[in-house]
Amino acid sequence: MSFDPTQVIRPEVSALTAYAAPAPPGEGQVKLDANESPFALGQAPRGALAAELAKALADVALHRYPDPDARALRTLLADELGVRAEQLVLTNGSDEGIQLLEMAAGGPVLIPAPTFVMYEHTAQVLGLRLVKVPLTDSFELDRPAVRAALARERPRLVFLAWPNNPTGRLFDAAAVEEVLRLCAGEACQAVVAVDEAYADYSGRTFLDRLDRHPNLVVRRSCTRSGRRTT
Ligand SMILES: Cc1ncc(COP(=O)(O)O)c(C=O)c1O
């Protein structure tokens, strides 16, 4: 019996290399690149958190499936974010959210370059065409180049990390607004996903523009360390 996986797995998927997370910090090093806190919880808050978690777990109805719509959680998060609960989709990490968006919209997917690697990685896995528009020398969106690419390539999905990874630049909000407008026009119809993974650092958001732009999706990360969420 023999089995050759290369006959089954799509060549573009076989050619992928895994996303490499940097090694844990060594002695005397501080890890600052992953939106994590370098400070561990003190003994007292750890104890309080352990008790809170134990109580929450004890109250879980293990004989039932959890609420697939996560209604209680979405209501809490909506309140914190100042949006309506029905505007929220919860995912297991950003990878799942990016994948859902790409599966739903399909390609072409337009991204600035360089940007967060998962937009491209997921597009490759799904076999979607990717359009990369290089940033300017000052790491801003190249507005004329983006305009031209939108009209020429007619993407169905655009990702803008705001602030961008790895450049740290918060693109000019007017440039993002322009992309949103152009992607809801005659020449191009696309979902624009504004990825606010680093909203804690920028203190800026497009959440309050959701009702103005029907093609806007705001992506957020959820951590237990701060008051914020997704
Ligand atoms: C732009 C951007 N989005 C999303 C993520 C990951 O988000 P999460 O931790 O919510 O999966 C990162 C992390 O590198 C990122 O840089």
Asked if residue 18 has pLDDT above 90, the reply is no
Q: Which residue has the higher pLDDT, 197 or 29?
A: 197
Tell which atom from ligand 1 comes closest to the C-alpha of 115.
1
Task: Output the pLDDT for position 165.
Answer: 94
Q: Please state the atom number of ligand 1 nearest to the C-alpha of residue 95.
A: 11
Using a 6 Å cutoff on CB, does residue 90 contact ligand 1?
A: no
What percentage of the chain reaches a pLDDT higher than 90?
A: 75
Q: Which residue's alpha carbon is nearest to atom 6 within ligand 1?
A: 94
Q: Whose CA is nearest to atom 13 of ligand 1?
A: 34
SS (H, E, C) the chain: CCCCHHHCCCHHHHCCCCCCCCCCCCCCCCCCCCCCCCCCCCHHHHHHHHHHHHHHHHCCCCCCCCCCCCHHHHHHHHHHHCCCHHHCCCCCHHHHHHHHHHHHHCCCEEEEECCCHHHHHHHHHHCCCEEEEECCCCCCCCHHHHHHHHHHHCCCEEEEECCCCCCCCCCCHHHHHHHHHHCECCCCECEEEEECCCHHHHCCCCHHHCCCCCCEEEECCCCCCCCCCC
pLDDT of residue 40: 84
What is the Cα gyration radius of the chain? 20
pLDDT tier, 223 (very low <50, low <70, confident <90, very high otherwise):
low
End-to-end CA distance of the chain: 49
Inform me whether the pLDDT recorded for 228 exceeds 60: no
Q: Which of residues 17 and 133 earns the better pLDDT score?
A: 133
Provide the pLDDT for residue 173.
97
Residue 33 has pLDDT above 90, yes or no: no
91 lines ligand 1 (CB under 6 A): no
Task: Please write down the long-range contacts of 201-208, taking CB distance under 8 Å and 24 or more positions apart.
Answer: 201/163, 202/162, 202/163, 202/170, 204/162, 204/170, 204/173, 206/162, 206/173, 206/176, 207/81, 207/82, 207/83, 208/82
Beta carbon of 195 within 6 Å of any ligand 1 atom: yes
Q: Which residues lie below 8 Å from residue 123, measured CB to CB, with a gap of 6+? A: 102, 107, 109, 129, 130
Ligand 1 within 6 A of CB of 25: no
Cβ pair 125, 109 in contact under 8 A = no
Please determine, for residue 11, whether its predicted confidence score (pLDDT) is greater than 90: no
**Least confident segment among 35-39, 86-90, 142-146, 223-227:** 223-227
The confidence score (pLDDT) of residue 225 equals 42
What's the gap in Å between 64 CA and the centre of ligand 1?
32
Whole-number Cα distances in Å, 142 to 82, 113, 134, 210, 216 = 31, 10, 7, 24, 20
What rounded mean pLDDT belongs to the chain? 91
Average pLDDT over every residue of 23-42: 81
Atom of ligand 1 nearest to the CA of 161: 1
pLDDT at position 14 is 86
Instruction: Specify whether the backbone of 203 is left (phi greater than 0), alpha (psi in -120 to 50) or beta.
Output: left
Q: In a mutational test of the pocket of ligand 1, which residue from 33, 99, 101, 165 has the highest number of ligand atoms less than 8 Å from its CB?
A: 165
Contact 199 CB / ligand 1 (< 6 Å): no
| Highest-confidence segment of 17-21, 43-47, 66-70, 126-130 | 126-130
Closest CA to 194 of 152, 125, 177, 186: 177
- Dump pLDDT digits (tens) for 39-90: 888 899 999 999 999 999 999 999 999 999 999 999 999 999 999 999 999 9
